[in-house]
Amino acid sequence: MGNYITDDFLLQNKPAQTLYHHFAADQPIIDYHCHLSPADIANDRQFNDLGEVWLEGDHYKWRAMRTLGIDEQYITGDAGYQKKFRKWAETVPFTLRNPLHHWTHLELKRYFDVDQLLGPETADEIYYTCNEKLKTPEYSTRNLIRRMDVEVICTTDDPVDSLEHHRTIAGDDDVEIEVYPAFRPDAAYNFSDPGGYNEYLNKLELVTGINIRGLDDLLEALYDRIDFFDEHGCCLSDHGITTLHSEPIGKKEAETLFESVRSGETLSVAEARSLRYVILLELSRRYDQKGWVQQFHLGALRNNSDRMMEKLGPDTGFDSIGDYPQAESMARFFNELDRTRQLPKTVLYNLNPSDNAVFATMTGNFNDGSTRGKMQFGSAWWFLDQKDGIEDQLNVLSNMGLLSCFIGMLTDSRSFLSYPRHEYFRRVLCNLIGQDIENGELPDDIEWAGKIVSDICYHNAKSYFEF
């Protein structure tokens, strides 16, 4: 059976087809947030097996396989990659109406020119065809990226990271792709495990040479690493937290709380929120000084299965959407920064679709005319980066903000085969605008609509991040 990923896949009207093929398809990719390994790019890793490149670290696929009743040995266990791939192939037909069905066949077609549907009957043929290609230099990590016309990649990096791989990439004249670090300091305010937290601060002491005894010491150490990241081309930070809690406390109280956790004591939930608020405010002020963009990924309920957390560790597919209160504390946080004109450019990503209107209108509260699209309602994230979720985010942003200023899609992925998700987003975007033109709800001005589309796909991000 042939692949349904045709040239006009998801493009259900003539204006959409024109917008996509003439204004979106050929735009380079700026992937300003992902979890790709900079070591793999620096070393130009050559994957040995389709199962390896496809299933290594992809918790989207892992969740689907578990749901189908596949044993963990074929997911994260010690089964060989061919056996794991066969189990994934067995799963794919059952992902009908899940975005994994779309992504799987887009990736097969765009990377390997495979036009078959993946299933148990085609698994071995596809496996051997793709493996033969993976063995060639044209399928090294860097060439997988080049194949998708990726111009910029921003990885996600802890403050204690040496950034040695970014230096290697920057110093290699054969790498024309710009690869920058992004500052992800979540561990610096994760007080849930005092023992683990203090071990992390000891690492931060080692890389900065700063003796961290008080809160000012911690901030000095983080500022030191911000300077270090900035020297390596970093221009953005990222924060993965449930919500922007805003529980102001005085400096003396914050110092006392920090000294408590530094001595191994456990903070209450309210105390942890207050101390985190103080640290995030000071980090935001430093980002503003540097001219960085700050990103907040909000709303995930992480690591819900204690049993599987103990067995496999974090980020292995046991997370879900949370239903946290967002609006009031977020407004107070941004207002405190805006009040003193220290609010940097900010991207807000929402995981709970019921909060989309909250996030879209929140950005409008702090757009002050100083920068085009200064506050961004970020692209549909994680569980929402499928057709319905993308359309919902685009519609809410259109109704309550300016879609024309949107900085577009990112992969947020650990897989080097994820770049067709940009194509997927672009097709959904063009279909949405094209349908409005077809319905007479927008002017039949393809050139102007095409400019808006190409801006969202590429130019807005390039200008916003100043790449």
Angle at 463 between CA 281 and CA 229, to 5 degrees: 45
Instruction: Determine the Cα–Cα distance for residues 190 and 212; give it in Å rounded to an integer.
Output: 16
Alpha helices in 155-264 (DSSP H): 164-170, 194-208, 215-231, 251-262
For the chain, what is the radius of gyration of the CA atoms?
Answer: 23
199: tokens are 């071990």
Angle at 443 between CA 440 and CA 447, to 5 degrees: 135
Going by C-alpha positions, the residue among 450, 444, 465, 396 that lies closest to residue 21 is 450
Going by C-alpha positions, the residue among 131, 140, 130 that lies closest to residue 43 is 140
Instruction: Determine the Cα–Cα distance for residues 394 and 379; give it in Å rounded to an integer.
Output: 8
What are the beta bridge partners of residue 350? 298
pLDDT value at residue 76: 95
Task: Please report which helix (H) or strand (E) contains residue 241, including its range.
Answer: strand 236-241
334 neighbors 341 (Cβ within 8 angstroms): no
Average pLDDT of each block of 10 consecutive residues along the chain (467 residues)? 88 98 98 97 96 91 97 96 96 97 97 96 97 96 97 98 98 96 98 96 98 98 98 98 91 96 96 97 98 98 94 92 96 97 98 98 96 97 96 98 98 95 98 98 98 98 97
**Residue 391 burial class via C-beta count within 10 angstroms: exposed 0-12, middle 13-18, buried 19 and up:** middle
pLDDT value at residue 1: 59
270 neighbors 246 (Cβ within 8 angstroms): no
Q: Return the axis-axis angle of helices 215-231 and 194-208, rounded to nearest 10°.
A: 50
Instruction: Determine the Cα–Cα distance for residues 363 and 352; give it in Å rounded to an integer.
Output: 16
pLDDT value at residue 181: 98
pLDDT value at residue 315: 87
What are residue 115's phi and psi, to 5 degrees? Answer: -110, 15
* Cβ-based neighbours of 436, under 8 Å, separated by 6 or more: 442
Evaluate if pTM is beyond 0.95: yes
Instruction: Determine the Cα–Cα distance for residues 199 and 190; give it in Å rounded to an integer.
Output: 12
159 neighbors 210 (Cβ within 8 angstroms): no
pLDDT value at residue 2: 67
